[in-house]
Amino acid sequence: MVIKFGRKYLRFYNQDEYEKNVSKSDQEKELPSPEMELKIPLNAKLIDLIAPEDLKTEQTTFLSIINSRVSRRKYLDEVITLEELSYLLWCTQGVKRVLKLGAFRTVPSAGARCPFETYLYIRKVEGLEPGIYRYISLQHKLLFIKSVENANELFSKLAYNQRFAANGDVLFLWVAVPYRTEWRYTTLSHKFIAIDLGIVCENLYLACEARGLGTVAIGYYEQEKLDTVLTKS
């Protein structure tokens, strides 16, 4: 079976096709650039994370991290520290430098557009109450959003009953804000967004491996229902 529609999405245009199919971008039309990060509610109290310069440096060599990385679906019944969580957030979306039109992060992103928001479901992190949080990457802080009832059951159900989805100390939930990339790349954006996310996810794998933590990517989940869990108050 050839699934043509999906394959089209993988293929980049050649120059003729590009000129014919790719319309002027909103950037070229000089429309304002979208915000780099979702707004923070007024009066929100942000939670400090451990600053990048105070994060522990790992003892392992890069090659041994690469070689030992695997997907891990069984976790110890231990609590991760705020320093470990800060390390993982820094390695996946940390902002090193902010420019007018984008941010340079610890991960590359097409056109430095960085179209993601990092939501977390925190089950067990030292000093933090369980619930959904958002990483405020521009300030390297956390925003508590809400508690979730029956979270273990809910997240495992949303991952089509993959029970390990609810067993980790933290669930990273990356949400794309497509217009951040579309503003510059119009119809080419969606492939870029998918590539960008693969890079972020791989950094999470490597960062976990470097710190003796385990993780697994989960692509098989109910996206719309999960969106509702994150957005409804």
Footprint of ligand FMN (CB under 6 A): 70-71, 162, 216-220
Q: Give the Cα separation of 162 and 182 in Å (integer).
A: 33
Q: Give the Cα separation of 35 and 38 in Å (integer).
A: 7
Closest contact distance (angstroms) between CB of 20 and ligand FMN is: 32
Closest contact distance (angstroms) between CB of 63 and ligand FMN is: 16
Which lies closer to ligand FMN via its Cβ, residue 104 or residue 221? 221
Q: Residue 182: name the closest of 37, 33, 39, 12 by CA.
A: 33
Which lies closer to ligand FMN via its Cβ, residue 108 or residue 146? 108
Which lies closer to ligand FMN via its Cβ, residue 33 or residue 162? 162
Which lies closer to ligand FMN via its Cβ, residue 25 or residue 152? 152
Q: Give the Cα separation of 204 and 99 in Å (integer).
A: 24
Closest contact distance (angstroms) between CB of 162 and ligand FMN is: 5
Q: Give the Cα separation of 30 and 128 in Å (integer).
A: 43
Tokens of 84: 């470990």
Q: Residue 91: name the closest of 50, 48, 149 by CA.
A: 50
Which lies closer to ligand FMN via its Cβ, residue 55 or residue 200? 200
Tokens of 122: 């925190």
Closest contact distance (angstroms) between CB of 222 and ligand FMN is: 11
Closest contact distance (angstroms) between CB of 219 and ligand FMN is: 3
Which lies closer to ligand FMN via its Cβ, residue 136 or residue 158? 158
Q: Are 12 and 191 in contact (CB under 8 A)?
A: yes
Tell me 93's DSSP state: H
Residue at shortest CB range from ligand FMN: 219
Closest contact distance (angstroms) between CB of 203 and ligand FMN is: 13
Q: How many CA atoms, within 13 angstroms, populate the side-chain half-sphere of residue 222? A: 14
Tokens of 167: 């067993």
